Structure 1
Amino acid sequence: MGVALKNMYFTVMCLPSQDCKFYGEVHSPFLQQSVEFCGLTELILIMDQVMKDYHLPKHDERYRHFQSHHAMIEQKLEYRKEDIQERFEEYLNESMKCSKNSQNTFQIKVMYRQNYTWQGEIIWSEKQRTKFFRSALELMHLIYSVFE
């Protein structure tokens, strides 16, 4: 029997890059492989697209938008084809064990999507520090604060 999926999980690895100030990879149990991002805006848009595609966590309103997809996401997101609930814990552990050349790794759990933003928890893995965030903007500030 699988687990009931209510939250969305991501692991964000920040990697050294000369071309992009904020570069790395985002992992999720729902993705077949990691997705590269260049810039915090692209990271947020990728995470948002995964949550929209899986309807997790449930949101309180329909999205308002001018266009139906994010033009800034250059990669095609490839999702796992099998029923993820059966092996969710295995996929979650696999997505959290990213060990490339990361300078900073963050475990992000989005628990709610309310008022057109996100609420959840972020863990800075290298320092074992946990913070809760009340919006995607606050999440961005928490991540940027590591680099200041």
Structure 2
Amino acid sequence: MDNSQNYIGVPNGVVFCVDMVKKYVLEGRFYHAYSTEATEVSSLHDLCLKLELFFDELQYPYPGTDRRFFLDEKSKKEKPAEPWREAGLPGRTRIMSDDELLSKHGDLGTFILRVQHRQNSTWQGRITWVNENKTLQFRSVWELTKLIEEALDTVSEQED
């Protein structure tokens, strides 16, 4: 099998490993070059939240819009200076090579996520499904989650 699409290619590229899907909720972990430890995720929603903090910490890709707050001034809480630290994300020193990242695999599926832009309050980029050596573009977080779900549905159908 030709693995020409299996590369990281961007500073914020991650390898997302899916280990289990229960009642339409997936569990897994993702790896990035700045830590040897996996970041555990309990759903696609959790994945998106943790990746957003990761991108904020790297300041790449830089968001096209600022976060908006709809609270009055009295009830607005102080924003932590470094929210990614509270989430357990590390600094920007590269620790793992691309080859080490690509050696990580999930039980049900492995995906390489490359978010290239954060514009219009969403993400744009490419996703590679490593098991099938298939790369697709996505234009939003919603489209990204649909691509992951469709890939995992295909795996479930093959197992049935």
Q: TM-score range by the shorter chain?
A: 0.7 to 0.9
Q: Is the 8 A contact 1:32 1:78 kept in 2?
A: no
Q: Report what 2:40 is aligned to.
A: 36
CA distance 1:91–1:79, shift in 2 (3 Å): farther
Q: Report what 1:51 is aligned to.
A: 55
CA distance in structure 1 between the aligned counterparts of 2:139 and 2:11, rounded to whole angstroms: 15
Structure 2 SS opposite 1:147: helix
CA distance in structure 2 between the aligned counterparts of 1:36 and 1:19, rounded to whole angstroms: 18
2:79 pairs with 1:79 = no
Q: Report what 2:116 is aligned to.
A: 111
Note the C-alpha offset of 1:94.
Answer: 1.9
Note the C-alpha offset of 1:17.
Answer: 6.1
TM-score (structure 1 length as normaliser): 0.76
Between 1:10-19 and 1:32-41, the stretch displaced more is 10-19
How big is the alpha-carbon RMSD for the aligned residues of Structure 1 and Structure 2?
A: 2.8
TM-score (structure 2 length as normaliser): 0.71
Structure with higher Rg: it is 2
Note the C-alpha offset of 1:54.
Answer: 1.1
Cα displacement string for residues 51-77 of structure 1 (whole angstroms, at most 9, x for unaligned residues): 0111111222222246757xxx9x832
CA distance in structure 1 between the aligned counterparts of 2:133 and 2:116, rounded to whole angstroms: 20
Q: Report what 2:100 is aligned to.
A: 94
Cα displacement string for residues 18-70 of structure 1 (whole angstroms, at most 9, x for unaligned residues): 6983000111112341111111100111111100111111222222246757x
Please tell me the residue identity of whatever aligns with 2:152. F
Give the share of equivalent positions with the same residue, in percent: 22
Structure 2 SS opposite 1:144: helix
CA distance in structure 2 between the aligned counterparts of 1:140 and 1:54, rounded to whole angstroms: 22
Please tell me the residue identity of whatever aligns with 2:141. A
CA distance in structure 2 between the aligned counterparts of 1:137 and 1:20, rounded to whole angstroms: 16
Q: Is the 8 A contact 2:128 2:135 kept in 1?
A: yes
Q: Is the 8 A contact 1:13 1:106 kept in 2?
A: yes
Between the two proteins, the alignment pairs up a number of residues equal to 134
